Structure 1
Amino acid sequence: MITRDIDAFVAHARTLSTDFGAPTARAAFLVAPDDFRLATDSARDNRYMADADAFDARRALDEHRGLHRALSQALPTVCFPGDPEAPDGVFPNNVFATAAGRCIVGRMRHPVRQREATRADIRGFFGGVLDYAEIDLSEQGHPCELTGALVIDRARGLGWCGLSERCDEEGAHLMHEAFGLRATLLFDLAPGEYHTNVVLAVLAGRAALACPRGFADAAVIDALAQVYGPHAIVLSDAEHAAFAGNAIALSPETVWMSARADAALAPATRTALANAGFDVRSVPLAAIEAAGGSLRCCVGEVF
């Protein structure tokens, strides 16, 4: 099922067991922020990006090394070198994503990001080292920026896909098929939002963090509550602005976010996460956040 009908989606989703696959990744991959700077193409539709003079390349590298060290303590984590011609490459989850036994390559909207999809080293890692089958969506004409646009409940096989200039309806259909999902809900992001994973995180298939201002239709928040019950956690505007919605569970017990997001969490949000069975881990990423994304955007998942 892939639909805009929220009631039909919720009715179907509530019949599904959490037996689709592992709820969290078995490994992660990163791309270093080499020659970190403003990507002017991407800035056209990413309101979270800072001005060019706010970019600090040395600090971004230091933060990214800290992220790599921290994640490596939780699960195997590999880091590919950055490409100086691809300043957004630090956010690889938009371009490369995985499902069991396969690697999906996305179609990026902006030319500066389309070159990331041609990287032979990353393709070779998945195809030649892991022996994953490749599903290449990068050459077709419909934007589909993978797990930036499509937030996936891996336990149930559910997709929550926000449409924007970074993902159109045909691109959403292509991703639904490539990931082999049971059901995907299509909805419009609010004006000014570019990726779903900035305003929504599904955590290990049993909880969600959602930023209401990120959705054009408030009924999506209601749908999350019907699927995840008391563990559908609504974030405040301040938490949203601090990238608390850009979080990821890398084990069934731990949710990761940036130090800025962690500091912005309201006591009620911390309690709700604890009630859902999650500890919060964080690392400083203020320099990287100048590029308009945060911790979840940096993390590619290997399933």
Structure 2
Amino acid sequence: MSAQAPRAAVLVRPHHFHPNPQTQADNSFQSAVVSGADATLAARAFDEVTAAAAVLQAHGVTVHLFDDDRDVTPDSVFPNNWFSTHAGGHVALYPMYAPNRRSERRSDIVELLKERYRVQDVIDYSGLEHDGIYLEGTGAMVLDHVSRVAYVARSHRADPIALERFCTNFGYEPMAFDAVDESGTACYHTNVMMCIATDFALISLDMITSPARRQEVSERLAAPGRTVLDLSHAQIRNFVGNAIELRGSAGRVLALSRRALNALTPRQLGVIESSAAVVPLDVPTIELAGGSVRCMIAGIHLEERPGPPAVASTPQRVHRGVTTGARIYAA
């Protein structure tokens, strides 16, 4: 078992996907805004999530697949930004920077967690939005569940007040740093520049501006015996840092995009494959929005309730905030 690699995940399949104009200004990974009326783009994103869920299920990862057919939530494919789950039965809900992303929070997903898993409490930080304070979940934070460290690249999507509250409530040590790309642009989300797995970590150390902090982060990541794989700026641009370790039926897997896999060096791939099976997902359309596989997957670090195996059914859909249909419970 690995505290770092959850056995289950939530994915959201969007019906009206397009790059979000409200996140364009500070997300340097995002492509130019495409009209939400582009049905072809939306259909491709829908198909990419469908295929990604099927691939993960084939590797033994439990996937809870939800549909979103609202046309006001273009980034709903990235649920890891608005909630996270934690061992001991804890769930956190987060304050979101872009106004149109705040509607992504869904009570039906929280209810699914309560029904299928042992949830002790739900801590809701979303009220901080009214104070202009934001912390976009496991996009803003990359969590080391073993050493209990929350790594955070400073940005207006990762407010220090909200970070301190989260770390106090959930028992993490905050480790914040300034990180920029090769052009000097601040990193908008920490999870595009680093990924922490059980036996290795992927990170662009050069993006951390302080040499002392860079060394400290590297040493802390390596402390539990991990191999730290330093990523180039080009690899970060290809979303190599935006990967996630999960637990499948045959052991740990590293889910990442096909684009990211193609950017790995043979040595890096060898280190990864010595610990986890590499599972590439084809998500080129979704990557236009400035996020990749890690952003798409909200891991479930909760204890499952005992009961009969779940039966697959029609995905759950939401239209104008009203829930219809049934959930997929696919294992």
User: Alpha-carbon deviation of 1:86?
Assistant: 0.8
Runs of 4+ aligned structure 1 residues displaced above 4 Å come to none
Q: Cα distance 1:278–1:123, how it changes in 2: closer, same or farther (>3 A)?
A: closer
Distance 2:50 2:208 in 1: 33
1:4-19 → structure 2 map (5 Å cutoff): none
Instruction: Give the conservation status (yes or no) of the 8 Å contact 1:97–1:302.
Output: yes
Greater Cα shift, 30-39 or 85-94: 30-39
Letter matched to residue 174 of structure 2: T
Q: How many pairs does the alignment contain?
A: 280
Q: Greater CA radius of gyration, 1 or 2? A: 2
Q: What are structure 2's unaligned runs of at least 5 residues? A: 302-331
Relative to the length of structure 1, the TM-score reads 0.86
- SS at 1:81 equivalent: strand
Q: Cα distance 1:90–1:214, how it changes in 2: closer, same or farther (>3 A)?
A: farther
Q: Cα distance 1:177–1:72, how it changes in 2: closer, same or farther (>3 A)?
A: farther
- SS at 1:84 equivalent: coil
Q: What are structure 1's unaligned runs of at least 5 residues? A: 1-18
Question: Structure 1 residue 194 and structure 2 residue 188: aligned?
Answer: yes
Instruction: Give the conservation status (yes or no) of the 8 Å contact 1:224–1:232.
Output: no
Cα RMSD, aligned residues only: 2.0
Partner in structure 2 of residue 162 of structure 1: 153
Distance 1:168 1:237 in 2: 25
Partner in structure 2 of residue 42 of structure 1: 23
Distance 1:214 1:198 in 2: 11
Partner in structure 1 of residue 200 of structure 2: 207
- SS at 2:14 equivalent: coil
Partner in structure 2 of residue 96 of structure 1: 83
Relative to the length of structure 2, the TM-score reads 0.79
Instruction: Give the conservation status (yes or no) of the 8 Å contact 2:24–2:33.
Output: no
User: Alpha-carbon deviation of 1:196?
Assistant: 0.3
Distance 1:123 1:253 in 2: 26
Question: Structure 1 residue 222 and structure 2 residue 215: aligned?
Answer: yes
Letter matched to residue 168 of structure 2: E
Partner in structure 2 of residue 267 of structure 1: 266
Distance 1:293 1:218 in 2: 27
- SS at 1:32 equivalent: strand
Aligned counterpart for 1:145 among listed residues 112, 121, 136 = 136
Instruction: Give the conservation status (yes or no) of the 8 Å contact 1:212–1:218.
Output: no
Q: Cα distance 1:139–1:230, how it changes in 2: closer, same or farther (>3 A)?
A: closer
Instruction: Give the conservation status (yes or no) of the 8 Å contact 1:235–1:269.
Output: no
Distance 1:178 1:128 in 2: 23
Using the aligned pairs only, state the percent identity: 30
Partner in structure 1 of residue 237 of structure 2: 241
Greater Cα shift, 208-217 or 63-72: 208-217
Distance 1:86 1:134 in 2: 23
User: Alpha-carbon deviation of 1:156?
Assistant: 2.3
Partner in structure 2 of residue 294 of structure 1: 292
Aligned counterpart for 1:60 among listed residues 35, 45, 69 = 45
Deviations 1:185-241 (A, max 9, x none): 12123233100000010012x321001343232444422432316601001222111
User: Alpha-carbon deviation of 1:129?
Assistant: 4.8
